[in-house]
Amino acid sequence: MRWLVRLIVLALAVAALREMRHRQQKVVAIGEDLNDQRRGIEAAETELDATDRWIDNAGSRVRELDARITAIEHEHPGGIPDVPSTRAWSPSTTTRSCCTTTSSPASDA
């Protein structure tokens, strides 16, 4: 009878050990998944920071252009006058034959 009790205790101990290992494997898998998610979040944060810097730089450029346009508008309150060019360029003044230019605005000057 004692050997039967010992056998039952041993079987329960083996079952408990298997359950403990199974749960430990689940915990390790969950930990690895969380590490992958953490790395993904860190990569997204880095990308978001880069996007924020790009937006800030674009905003600075827009403010600079706004200041330049405002200055030009103050210089010309009635609008920017037409500036007559000494020579108007048109596509007909430039003809290309294969890879050489026979006439161009730069060569006529």
Per-residue model confidence (pLDDT) at position 108:
47
The better pLDDT of the pair 74, 48 is held by 48
pLDDT of 62: 97
Distance CA(29)–CA(47), nearest Å, equals 27
Q: Mean pLDDT throughout 42-50?
A: 96
pLDDT tens-digit series, residues 57-102? 999 999 999 999 999 888 888 777 776 665 555 555 554 445 444 4
Dist CA 36 CA 49 (whole Å): 20
3-class DSSP state of 99: coil
> How much is the pLDDT for 92?
56
What's the confidence (pLDDT) of residue 87? 59
Asked if residues 52 and 44 have their Cβ atoms less than 8 Å apart, the reply is no
Contact (Cβ atoms closer than 8 angstroms) between residue 104 and residue 93: yes
Distances (CA, A) of 9 to 2, 15, 25, 87: 11, 10, 24, 105
CA–CA separation, 77 and 74 (whole Å): 5
Q: What is the average per-residue pLDDT within 17-30?
A: 96
